[in-house]
Amino acid sequence: RAAPLAPPCLSGHSTHAPEPLAGGQPFAVVWNIPTGRCQHRFGVGLPLGDYGIVENQGGDFAGQNITIFYKNKFGLYPYLSEQGVPHNGGIPQRVPLSAHLDRVAEDIRLLLRPAFHGLAVVDWEEWRPLWAQNWGPKRMYRAASEQWVRDQHGILPARQQLRLAQSEFEQAAQTLMEETLLAGRTLRPAGLWGFYRFPDCLNGNWAKVANYSGQCQPAEVQRNNLLGWLWAASSALYPSIYLPLALPPALRRRYVHHRLREALRVAAFGTDGLLPVIAYSRLSFRRSPRFLELADLVHTIGESAALGAAGLVLWGDMSYSRSPESCASLRHYLVSTLGPYVANVTAAARECSYRQCHGHGRCVRRQPHDLGSLLHLGPGAGPSAAFRCHCYRGWLAWSLWAKVGGLCGAFRLDTIAIAAERQHRPQFGSGWVQQHLCFPA
Domain coordinates of the chain in residue numbers?
17-358
At 437, the pLDDT band (50, 70, 90 cuts) reads low
Q: What is the pLDDT of residue 419?
A: 34
Alpha carbon separation from 169 to 48, 160, 172, 210 (Å, rounded): 44, 14, 5, 37
24 burial (CB, 10 Å; 0-12 / 13-18 / 19+) is exposed
At 5, the pLDDT band (50, 70, 90 cuts) reads very low
Helices (H), 286-323: 294-297, 303-307
Q: Is the pLDDT of residue 311 over 70?
A: yes
Number of H helices, E strands in the chain: 11, 13
In angstroms, rounded to a whole number, what is the distance separating the alpha carbons of residues 401 and 397? 13
What pairs with residue 339 in β-bridges?
Answer: none
The answer to whether residues 255 and 217 touch, using CB atoms and an 8 Å cutoff, is no
Q: Phi/psi at 182 (nearest 5 deg)?
A: -60, -40
Q: What is the pLDDT of residue 25?
A: 93
Q: Is the pLDDT of residue 400 over 80?
A: no
Q: What is the pLDDT of residue 410?
A: 33
Residues 6+ apart with CB under 8 A from 134: 127, 128, 141, 142
40 or 23, greater pLDDT: 40
Alpha carbon separation from 138 to 79, 80, 81, 107, 127 (Å, rounded): 10, 9, 11, 27, 6
How wide is the angle at C-alpha 45 spanned by C-alphas 43 and 46, nearest 5°? 150
The pLDDT tens digits for 354-371 are 999 989 999 999 999 999
Q: What is the pLDDT of residue 418?
A: 32
Residues 6+ apart with CB under 8 A from 213: 254, 258
Catalytic residue among 82, 106, 125, 126: 125
CATH of domain 17-358: 3.20.20.70
Q: What is the pLDDT of residue 63?
A: 86
Sign of CA dihedral 150, 178, 183, 114: positive
Name the average pLDDT for the chain. 88
At 22, the pLDDT band (50, 70, 90 cuts) reads confident
Which range, 13-22, 168-177, 367-376, 414-423, is most confident? Answer: 168-177
Q: At what angle do helices 252-266 and 218-226 cross, to 10 degrees?
A: 20
- The separation between the first and the last C-alpha atoms of the chain, rounded to the nearest angstrom, is 27
- Strands annotated E in 233-370: 278-282, 311-315, 361-365
CA 377 to chain CA mean position, Å = 23
Q: Is the pLDDT of residue 220 over 60?
A: yes
How wide is the angle at C-alpha 315 spanned by C-alphas 309 and 317, nearest 5°? 175
pTM of the predicted structure, to 2 decimals: 0.89
229 burial (CB, 10 Å; 0-12 / 13-18 / 19+) is middle
Mean of the pLDDT values across residues 391-408?
Answer: 63
Q: Is the pLDDT of residue 290 over 60?
A: yes
In angstroms, rounded to a whole number, what is the distance separating the alpha carbons of residues 2 and 403? 11
Give the number of residues written for the chain: 441
Mean of the pLDDT values across residues 399-405?
Answer: 53
Q: What is the CA radius of gyration of the chain?
A: 24
The pLDDT tens digits for 242-260 are 999 999 999 999 999 999 9
Residue 97's CB is within 10 A of a number of other CB atoms, namely 15
212 or 9, greater pLDDT: 212
The answer to whether residues 207 and 247 touch, using CB atoms and an 8 Å cutoff, is no
Catalytic site includes residue 125: yes
Q: Is the pLDDT of residue 416 over 80?
A: no
Least confident of 114-128, 156-170, 418-432: 418-432
Mean of the pLDDT values across residues 73-80?
Answer: 97
In angstroms, rounded to a whole number, what is the distance separating the alpha carbons of residues 369 and 423? 18
Q: What is the pLDDT of residue 401?
A: 56
The proportion of the chain whose per-residue pLDDT surpasses 70, expressed as a percent, equals: 87
